[in-house]
Amino acid sequence: MFTGIVTDRGRVRALDQRGDLRIEIDTAYDTATLELGASVACNGCCLTVVAKGEAGEGRGWFAVDASAETRSKTAIGDWRVGTAVNLERSLRLGDELGGHLVSGHVDGLAEVVEIRPEGDSMRYRFAAPAALGRFLAPKGSVALDGVSLTVNEVEAPGGEGPEARMIFGCNVIPHTAEVTTFGSYGPGQRVNLEIDLIARYVARLVPAPLREA
């Protein structure tokens, strides 16, 4: 489990296509405390540490494997050497829960469609699959590229069939833009989207006719 509070901004240092895609990520984490088999959220994707090492100048690196299934459901296929990655180590009992409960299981991809100033912050508007719209509510939580954000607006889905999209908006404060990858995003950027864990199970438990009302 994670919280959606990014604790390091790493960078892809190597990509190696084997049976799966081996990804090496440069990090400021103390890799001596990062166990093999540990889970790290990489742009919101829960991935397993399979190797690690020192990179010099007080930095280290760790490696993860991304299967074809993971690449097909996330934006990892867009990564290149040098791509910045939001990192968060897994939550421990007793840790402060500053964001919201995040599992690291990506539900779909959203795309940045607009960025505009709003006070000192920036309002980001995203397009996402319409099927995810019922899990998003104003003042609810969403994880985008591993960052816990508050949903400020949700528009009714447009279009029909599997290509239907819905639009939602979130504000990104200057601090978040500075310490995460959001400060470098522009329209067209694809981001990993994870719906709120509670919303997922409430929707599962509520009978279908009530969900459609």
Say whether both 121 and 174 belong to one domain. Answer: yes
Say whether both 115 and 158 belong to one domain. Answer: yes
Say whether both 115 and 207 belong to one domain. Answer: yes
Reported as a single tens digit per residue, the pLDDT across 1-10 is 999 999 999 9
Say whether both 55 and 149 belong to one domain. Answer: no
Is residue 30 domain-resident?
yes
Is residue 65 domain-resident?
yes
Say whether both 208 and 114 belong to one domain. Answer: yes
CA dihedral 202, 206, 210, 211 (to 10 degrees): 40
Say whether both 67 and 135 belong to one domain. Answer: no
Say whether both 69 and 135 belong to one domain. Answer: no
CATH code of the domain covering residue 172:
2.40.30.20
Indicate the number of domains in the chain. Answer: 2
Range of the domain at 203: 108-212
Domain's final residue, options 62, 89, 116: 89
Say whether both 71 and 123 belong to one domain. Answer: no
In order along its 213 residues, the chain shows pLDDT tens digits of 999 999 999 999 999 998 999 999 999 999 999 999 999 999 999 999 999 999 878 899 999 999 999 999 999 999 999 999 999 999 887 777 788 889 999 999 999 999 999 999 999 999 999 989 889 999 999 999 999 999 999 997 776 666 789 999 999 999 999 999 999 999 999 999 999 988 877 877 876 554 444
Contacts of 186 (CB under 8 A, 6+ apart): 112, 115
Say whether both 73 and 129 belong to one domain. Answer: no
Q: What is the pTM of this model?
A: 0.91
Reported as a single tens digit per residue, the pLDDT across 66-79 is 999 999 999 999 99
